[in-house]
Amino acid sequence: MARVLTINGTTRSINLPDDVPLLWVLRDELNLTGTKFGCGVASCGACTVHINGEAVRSCQIALADVDGPVTTIEGLGTPDDIAVIQQAWVDHQVAQCGYCQSGQIMQAAALLAANPAPTDTDIDDAMHGNLCRCGTYPRIRAAIHDAAQRLQKV
């Protein structure tokens, strides 16, 4: 049975079994490879996307359980106009290897949507569970604070 999903503002018809994880729908069926496979058990955050604006681990969401619009890292901005949070990431040189960063950015974007002026503790709590093997956590926190300030000026 085909399912209709809205992904990054575009309606897509998906004809896959209901139990296929959203991660594989995005990567294999729709070629949206910015969302990464990390651990497969929702422990690392590399596969974080938004459903209805809420950060979720796409490796653990079955196609049948997607209940609203999906936003991936590709949907946050465009090559000509990247999102404020993405620009803060660039400005603070957050990415080292870069593998986890799409999940980190998606988690941070959900945090800023819910809390436009997060404290260090708010950031640490929200970002807990998004792992970075390169250890760029201080840069991540600084980029989130910077993006929050920029968004408050908009």
For residue range 84-115, list pLDDT tens digits in order: 999 999 999 999 888 999 999 999 999 999 99
CA distances from 50 to 14, 23, 37, 58, 142 (A): 18, 12, 16, 9, 22
Four-way CATH pick for 84-153: 1.10.150.120, 1.10.3470.10, 3.40.50.1970, 3.40.50.300: 1.10.150.120
Q: Tens of pLDDT along 4-51? A: 999 999 999 999 999 999 999 999 999 999 999 999 999 999 999 999
Token representation of residue 22: 């959203």
Q: What is the DSSP letter of 14?
A: E
Break the chain into its structural domains and give their ranges.
Answer: 3-75, 84-153
Which is more confidently placed, 81 or 83?
83
> pTM value?
0.93
61 alpha carbon, distance to own chain's centre: 14
